[in-house]
Amino acid sequence: MNTQLQAFKAEFFKALAHPLRIRILELLCEGERSVTEIQTLLESEGSAVSQQLSILRAKNIVVGVKQGKQVMYSLVDPMVADLLAITKDIFNNHLIHIISIYEDQD
């Protein structure tokens, strides 16, 4: 069981391991969005956004639901928002540590 869980975690984090995918997820934390909205907000080409959404869909991190001519994307699990917030806190703690090391050297 632990091996399966570790494999899931590794694959999950691999799916997150791209700056554009993280930016897409951050937008989806605010609510569902169409591909066009995501492209506009990220000022990114449609093919790049579609490619990254495809990866996130394949890993069951986002879901796309067709509404008329648009596909609306949302997070499969709202806890992804918590994970991104915790990651931001870890990043901030890392910066604080680096700054304190730098200040100690002065």
pLDDT (0 to 100) of residue 46: 81
Q: What is the pLDDT of residue 67?
A: 92
Query: What does the domain layout of the chain look like in residue ranges?
Result: 3-76
Which has the higher per-residue pLDDT, 1 or 10? 10
pTM for the complete prediction?
A: 0.85
Q: What is the pLDDT of residue 103?
A: 78
Residue 8 burial (CB count, 10 A)? 11
Kindly state the helix (H) or strand (E) to which residue 77 belongs, with its residue range: none
Query: In this model, does residue 37 exceed pLDDT 90?
Result: yes
CA–CA gap between residue 32 and residue 4 (Å, rounded): 30
CATH class of 3-76: mainly alpha
* Strand-pair category, 33-34 with 62-67: unpaired
Mean pLDDT value across residues 2-28 = 94
With 70 as the cut, is the pLDDT of residue 24 above it? yes
Mean pLDDT of 50-71: 95
